[in-house]
Amino acid sequence: MLRFTHLSKGYAQPDGFLPVLNDVSGEVARGESVALLGESGSGKSTLLHLVAGLDVPDHGTMLLNDISLTDASAQTWNRLRREHISLVFQDFHLIPTLNVDDNLKLQARLAGQLDLDFCNQLIERLGLTGLLHGLPGELSGGQQQRVAIARSLAHRPTLVLADEPTGNLDEQTAQDVMTLLIDCVRAANSSLLMVTHSPAMAAYLDRRWHLKAGELHED
Amino acid sequence: MKTERLTRIVWVNRVLLSHYRRHPLQAIFLLLGLTLGVALWSAVELINGHARTSYADAEQFLGADAHFWIRPTGENAAVSQQDYIRLRRLGFVELYPIIEARLQTREQDWLILLATDFMALPIADAQNNSSETATPFVGDALAFMTPPFQTAVPESLASELGINPGDQLTLTNGQRLPPATLQSRPQQGERLVVDMAAAFEVLNRDNFDYLGVTKLSASREQALRQALPEGLILTRNQQSLDLQELTDSLHIQLAAMGWLAFVVGLFIVFNAVRFSLWMRQATLTTLREMGIGLDDLALAIALEALFWSVLGTLLGGGLGFLLGNLLLPTVSSSLGSLYGAIITPTVTLTARHLLQAAIMTLLGVTVAVAGPIWLSARRSIRQQQHQTLDQQFQPRQLGVQSLSAVALLGLAALYYFQIDSVSDGFVLLALVLFGSALSLPPLLYGAFWLAARSMPASWWRLRWAMRDAFAQLPHLRIAMMALLLALVANLGVSTLVGSFRIAFTDWLTVRMSADVYVQSATLDADALLTQAPLKVQASHARTGLNLRWQDRPTEIRGVNTQAPDMRSLPLALSEPNALSQWAEQGHLRPILANEQVHHLAGVNLGESVSLPTDTGTVDFQVVGFFHDYGNPYYAFYLPKATVSQYWKNAQPMGLAIWLQDTNLQAFEPDLLDAGAEPGDWIDQRQLMSVALQIFERTFAITGALNTLTLGVAGVALFAALMSIHQQRLHQYAHWRALGVNQQEWLLIVGGPLAGMVMVTGLLAIPLGAVLSALLIADINIIAFGWSMPLNWSWHPVANLAILTTLTLILTGLTALWRVQRQLPNALIRLGGTA
Ligand SMILES: Nc1ncnc2c1ncn2[C@@H]1O[C@H](COP(=O)(O)OP(=O)(O)OP(=O)(O)O)[C@@H](O)[C@H]1O
Ligand SMILES: [Mg+2]
């Protein structure tokens, strides 16, 4: 489903070129969940951003559903991000001026794939029923992240990319949110690639990748 | 695909607009800025239109609007109806007939009755083309022109004679005038006005005393001369107020001000839109993460911009309309009362006007939106995510701005020596204004940098305040530029209007210093002066002729150098003792020329002009140039004797009389006895006061406009302040937690603001002066060949300083109040999230 081969990426920095990813390859199957582990600065976010098309690799190829993403146009990437790839961030990225209900349906509406039954199912699963009419700013961090998760899954994307989704939450909340995320990803039959620092969290997922010195290893 | 994109755009717009639902104050400020900007611009446009109407109004003054007269040559002759109708049938619609009769009532009161053909009066110009199809005569006007007719009686005269509406005056011969209607219309003076048909009945005659002729081109004049039947002659009305050029000049100046208001509007719109976009930066980034392309985003933002522009245009246009009708106390009424015509209000909201306003706002919005969109197009989404909301002042941007400012101002300086058309002049103005506006942020930055450096370390609060200026500057930058331009516009308008007022008053005073002006073919001037020596203080009989010089119509006037209006003739440029040299007429034949000869014909002081005389070309040495506002022709003054020496065909050009006491009524019988006919003389005191009244009205409106301009800038400033404090609330909460008290906060936050406003205000003063100087001394000369003395006054500066300070205090206090109200909440959150 998702396959990337020989990806390389580096950044020009004041003290010279900094190679971040060095010829990394990997594959995620439909419905599979993968944890991405590594030290701070090892390039986890960089890899995630490349896969999401938010940044461009220096070398390498990518395939999603057997469609080549190498040299894909901005339009193609926009379409993919609308319909097939969802992002979940550490700091939620909710629209502060839309209420919870509108926030969680937004991505599905933009994709033109709003399925109200599935939305209601997600709302129930994520325990958002009583919060629908409030604004994101009035919710706790855990509640906000649950809204973000609902938003990313409402249109049943092919792939969910999550960058430390529980990084801002306390341990107990993090664990609850993580369980819900995995649960909902399964319900949507989506794949998940999740960056995390916590081996405990990684243990919930099907597979684990480690980034170290620009190289990707699986254990 | 199409509908899919459409729904997407709709959703993006809903997301974008949800911002305003949560922050209604920002929506209000955005709309307020737009609305006031449009209203301001509309107001200038309205004043412009009003000024034109006013000039036309002054020109329409019966007796003064005639540029020529057609008079019968013989004693006691009249213009027959047949001749009049024949001339009009020939296409000379510039003609209108006048009957002017002196009547005595049964009560022995002398009255002057004026009658004309109201249908023939050339008032179409003043109405614009708005009422072309509708007849201007409705209601009372109809009663005025149909039996039993009406007599329009000035209210002052009515109360003097004890006439009530409906009364009919009885004349000595038993004839009764039509029923009176009372009307206060300055143009009418103390005269009774009736329709021509009524006059025929009352006076038992069927002919006219003379015909008035409005402005004619040289070729029309020629054609009319040839078409005149035997017994009628065409003479130029020496006292006609040719206001066309003066109008055009004021129009150009106000047009420049209109553009300036436009630019202020643009800045305000720009500021508001930029800010609202900037507040939604995170939302925009999130939308892009969710697969909304830049094209979709740009389209959605453009739609939002369109929404605001349309709304702002409608509201602003509406406000401008209300304002216009409030400010212009029915221009139409003065015209209407003069001719008994009801004229559609001049202040109307035209589609063209609205369209212009829409274009203005759309332009501002587009320029504001284009920048951020272009920037995000160059950056990856990832870079945008890392953009911090707290934008710091970027030295690079500052450098670019300083360089552009220097470049623009340098260009302006070079361009100054090249301008030779009005549009060049406007380009120059634009360069100066934009250059100065751009130089403001670097100047402010420099000022604060210097202030911070020169402060001793122990003044830590003030130093903090100076540092805080750098945090405020990026957000206040545009608002300060808008304030600068508003102040400049304000000063510019005040100076212009002041200069115009003085120029106009001077012009009138010189031209109308005499009490009566008589232009009569039948008057025996010597008899008049010997017969009434006690009533006449001084007189001035001019002679003159018109010829062509340098391919332009040129007036040669023979004057009495000792007449009151010549002894102190104000000169724009002159050699020492010019007036006495000229009066004595030495061998160099000194001559006075109008300024137009200097500016348009390029003649300098002390140079000679060669004029065609009866005996060939003769050189005269120009010793002085007199102001001659609004005269499209060249003009030369010489002593009367010199004129008759060189030009045998010089004609008498009327007689100006200064009376011992200004009671003209008592002098009128003397005029009649000396052979003048009613209508041969003009009461100059009255003419002048009417003209001045009309202009005062225009000038009064500019006062209101000035306040409005500042109000707009005040709103821009206020909006900017509000938004800054909204964003910095968190920071203030930190300060409060650190123990900064309210006074300290006020100093740190308010000090820089006051400083910025002060620097801006100081910069506005020279800029306002430069602007008006360019308009008056350069552009006006290029356009018309005459200048006005620049009347710089500190009065508007002081007014502005007070107004600006009040605005500042008001906005500052409101901001303080809001921050105080929200701070407790922010303090609570401080513990929560940070
Ligand atoms: N836009 C950029 N320009 C220059 N260098 C960058 C840029 N983005 C990332 N880097 C550098 O690339 C390296 C990898 O960054 P990345 O954010 O992928 O690390 P990470 O593994 O996600 O770390 P963390 O766990 O702290 O989030 C870092 O050294 C970072 O400084
Ligand atoms: Mg990271």
State whether residue B294 sits within 8 Å of chain A by CB.
yes
- For B200, half-sphere exposure in the C-beta direction (CA atoms, 13 angstrom radius) is 15
Provide the strand spans (E) within B445-551.
516-518, 536-549
Beta bridge mates, B370: none
With the most atoms of ligand 1 within 8 angstroms of its CB, the residue from A7, A13, A46 to mutate is A46
Residues B267 and B219 in one domain: no
Residue-level pLDDT at B139: 39
A59 Cα to the center of ligand 1, angstroms: 18
Spacing of C-alpha B160 from chain mean position: 38
Query: What is the rounded distance in angstroms from the CA atom of residue B102 to the CA atom of residue A112?
Result: 89
- Which mutation among A9, A11, A13, A195 tests ligand 1's pocket best, with the greatest number of atoms within 8 A of CB? A11
pLDDT bin (cut points 50, 70, 90) of residue B344 is: very low
- CA distance linking residue B547 with residue B530, whole number of Å: 34
Residue B476 Cα to ligand 1 midpoint, Å, equals 34
Which CATH number is associated with domain A29-53+77-218?
3.40.50.300
Average pLDDT of chain A to the nearest whole number? 92
Which amino acid is it at B771? L
pLDDT (average), residues B761-786? 83
Tokens of B111: 């009255």
End-to-end CA distance of chain B: 44
State pLDDT tens for residues A158-211: 999 999 998 888 888 888 889 989 988 998 899 999 999 888 889 989 999 999
| pLDDT of B131 above 50 | no
Task: Reduce the DSSP state of residue A4 to 3 states and report it.
Answer: strand
Among A110, A140, A147, A153, which would you mutate to test the B interface (most chain B Cβ atoms within 10 Å of its Cβ)? A110
In 3D space, the residue among B65, B296, A190 whose CA is nearest the CA of residue A205 turns out to be A190
The reply to whether residue A95 touches residue B15, judged by beta carbons under 8 angstroms, is yes
Cβ-in-10-Å burial (0-12, 13-18, 19+) of B367 comes to: middle
B713 and B787 fall within a common domain: yes
Query: Is residue B29 within 8 Å of residue B308, measured between CB atoms?
Result: no
Do B41 and B162 fall within a single domain? no
B24 and B134 both lie in a single domain? no
For residue A103, the model assigns a pLDDT of 95
Location of structure tokens 């006076």: B203
Spans of all domains in chain A: 29-53+77-218
Residue B187 scores a pLDDT above 70: no
CB atoms within 10 A of CB B265: 32
B23 and B93 fall within a common domain: no
Mean of the pLDDT values across residues B596-622?
89
B519 inside domain: no
Residue A133 reports pLDDT greater than 90:
yes
Q: Which ligand is nearest to the CA of A89?
A: 2
Task: Write out pLDDT tens, residues B473-509.
Answer: 887 888 788 888 888 877 887 887 788 778 777 777 7
Chain centre to alpha carbon of residue B490: 13
Query: CATH code at B653?
Result: 2.40.40
- Tokens matching residue B440: 């403001």
The pLDDT of B660-688, averaged and rounded, is 78
| Phi, psi at B594, each rounded to 5° | -80, 160
Asked if the structure places residue B675 within a domain, the reply is no
Residues B71 and B44 placed together within one structural domain of the fold: no
Query: Contact at 8 Å (CB) between B300 and B12?
Result: yes
Q: Look at residue B504 and tell me if it is in a domain.
A: yes
Per the listing, tokens 């009176």 go with: B180
CA distance B641 to A156: 106
Residues with CB under 5 A from ligand 2 (ion): A 45
Quick one: average pLDDT of B225-232? 85
Q: DSSP letter for A129, please.
A: G
- The answer to whether the beta carbons of residues B177 and B192 sit under 8 Å apart is yes
pTM score, whole prediction: 0.68
State the Cα–Cα distance between residues B299 and B292, nearest whole angstrom: 11
pLDDT tens-digit readout, B534-566: 788 888 888 888 888 887 778 899 998 888 888
| Distance separating alpha carbons of residues B681 and B239, to the nearest angstrom | 10
Could you tell me if B230 and B98 lie in one domain?
yes
> In the structure encoding, which two tokens stand for residue B677, read together?
């006919």
- Average predicted confidence (pLDDT) for chain B: 77
Among B78-87, B282-291, B306-315, B371-380, the range scoring the smallest mean pLDDT is B371-380
Q: What is the DSSP string of B161-210?
A: HT--TT---BBTTS-BPPPEEEE--GGGTT-EEEEHHHHHHHHT--EESE
Asked whether residue B216 falls in the same domain as residue B264, the answer is: no
Quickly count: other Cβ atoms within 10 Å of residue B117's Cβ.
19
For A6, phi and psi rounded to 5 degrees?
50, 40
B717, B807 in Cβ contact below 8 A?
Answer: yes
Stretch B723-745: mean pLDDT, rounded? 78
Atom number, ligand 1, closest to the C-alpha of residue A55: 1
Instruction: Provide the pairing of β-strand B110-116 with B634-639.
Output: unpaired
CB contact under 8 A, B294 and A74: yes
Same domain as B47, residue B21:
yes
The residues that bridge with B182 in the sheet, in sequence order, are B153
Q: Does B527 touch chain A (CB under 8 A)?
A: no
Reported ipTM: 0.93
Q: Quick one: pLDDT at residue B335?
A: 33
Provide CB contacts within 8 A for B48, sequence distance 6+: B251, B254, B255, B258
Predicted local confidence at residue B576, as pLDDT: 86
B286 in reach of chain A (CB within 8 A): yes
Regarding beta strands A16-28 and A2-13, do their DSSP bridges make them parallel or antiparallel, or are they unpaired?
antiparallel
Give the CA distances from residue B517 to residues B168, B480, B672, in Å, rounded to whole numbers and listed in that order: 32, 54, 14
Pick from B812, B833, B824: nearest CA to B732 = B824
d(CA B494, CA B709): 12
Q: Which residues neighbour B816 within 8 Å (Cβ) at sequence distance 6 or greater?
A: B746, B750
DSSP string, B262-317: HHHHHHHHHHHHHHHHHHTHHHHHHHHHTT--HHHHHHHHHHHHHHHHHHHHHHHH
- Half-sphere exposure of A155 toward its Cβ, with a 13 Å CA cutoff? 27
Sequence length of chain B is: 834
Cross-chain CB nearest to A82 (options B23, B283, B290): B290
**Tokens found for residue B546:** 């018109």
Whether B174 maps to a domain, the answer reads yes
Q: Is B247 part of any domain?
A: no
The more confident residue out of B814 and B708 is B814
Among the partner residues B11, B14, B382, nearest to A55 by beta-carbon distance: B382
Task: Quote the CA–CA distance of B240 and B797 in Å, as a whole number.
Answer: 37
Residue of A8, A9, A40, A45 to mutate, ligand 1, most atoms within 8 A of C-beta: A45
Q: What is the rounded distance in angstroms from the CA atom of residue B74 to the CA atom of residue B521?
A: 9
Which ligand 1 atom minimizes the distance to the CA of A197? Answer: 25
C-alpha Rg value of chain A to the nearest Å: 17
Residue B648: pLDDT above 50? yes
Q: Domain span at residue B380? A: 1-59+260-387
Q: Does one domain contain both B289 and B366?
A: yes
pLDDT above 90 as % of chain B: 8
Shared domain for B68 and B48, answered yes or no, is: no
CA distances B652 to B644, B648, B684, B828, Å, are 11, 12, 19, 92
Residue B752: which pLDDT band, with cuts at 50, 70 and 90?
confident
What is the pLDDT, as a whole number, of residue B236? 73
Answer whether B12's CB lies under 8 Å from B232's CB: no
Atom number in ligand 1 closest to CA A49: 18
Residue B465 Cα to ligand 1 midpoint, Å, equals: 36
Angle at A126 (CA atoms; ends A125, A127), nearest 5 degrees: 95
Set of chain B residues whose Cβ sits within 8 Å of the Cβ of A79: 291
Distance of alpha carbon B321 from alpha carbon B489, whole angstroms: 21
- Average pLDDT of the segment spanning B630-639: 84
Which residues is A61 bridged to in the sheet? A5
Q: What is the pLDDT of residues B132-168, one digit of tens each?
A: 222 233 336 667 777 888 888 877 778 777 888 888 8
- Indicate the range of B115-124, B325-334, B466-475, B735-744 predicted with least confidence: B325-334
Distances (CA, A) of B638 to B434, B566, B568: 48, 11, 15
Q: Give me the pLDDT at residue B253, please.
A: 66
From residue B368, alpha-carbon distances to B95, B271, B301, B375 in Å are 55, 7, 11, 12
Say what the pLDDT of residue A85 is. Answer: 94
Q: Identify the DSSP state of B520.
A: -
Please name the residue whose Cα sits nearest to atom 31 of ligand 1: A41
B672-682 CB burial, b ≥16 within 10 A, e <16: bebbbbbbbbb
Tokens of B378: 């160059």
Atom of ligand 1 nearest to the CA of B383: 1
Do residue A110 and residue B381 have CB atoms under 8 angstroms apart? no
CA distance B704 to B195: 39
Task: Give dist(CA A200, CA B151) in Å, integer.
Answer: 105
Distances (CA, A) of B733 to A207, B461, B823: 46, 17, 6
Indicate whether B591 belongs to any domain. yes
Close Cβ partners of B513 (under 8 Å, ≥ 6 residues apart): B564, B565, B656, B658, B684
User: Chain B neighbours among A 17-76 (CB < 8 Å)?
Assistant: 49, 52, 54-56, 74-75
Distance A41 CA to ligand 1 centre (A): 5
Chain segment B308-342, per-residue pLDDT in tens:
888 888 888 888 777 766 665 543 333 333 333 33
Looking at B379-418, list the stretches that DSSP marks H as alpha helix, in order from N- to C-terminal side.
381-385, 395-416
Q: Would you say residue B622 has pLDDT above 80?
A: yes
Tell me: the pLDDT tens digits for A87-110? 999 889 999 999 999 999 999 999
* β-bridge mates for residue B154, sequence order: B183
Q: Given this model, what pLDDT does residue B313 score? A: 84
The pLDDT score that the predictor gives to residue B328 is 59
Rounded Cα distance between B553 and B358, Å, is: 44
Phi, psi angles (nearest 5°) of residue B756: -60, -45
For residue A51, what pLDDT band results from cuts at 50, 70 and 90? very high
Side chain identity at residue A70, one-letter code = T
Phi (first) and psi of residue B382, to 5 degrees: -65, -40
Q: Within a domain: residue B405?
A: no
Same domain, B75 and B42: no
Q: Which segment of A53-62, A70-79, B155-164 scores lowest on mean pLDDT?
A: B155-164
Exposed/middle/buried for residue B538 (C-beta within 10 Å: 0-12, 13-18, 19+): middle
Which ligand number lies closest to the CA of residue A50?
A: 1
Residue-wise pLDDT tens digits, B17-38: 999 988 887 788 778 877 877 7
The number of distinct structural domains making up chain B is: 4
pLDDT at residue number B410: 93
DSSP A73-84: -HHHHHHHHHHT
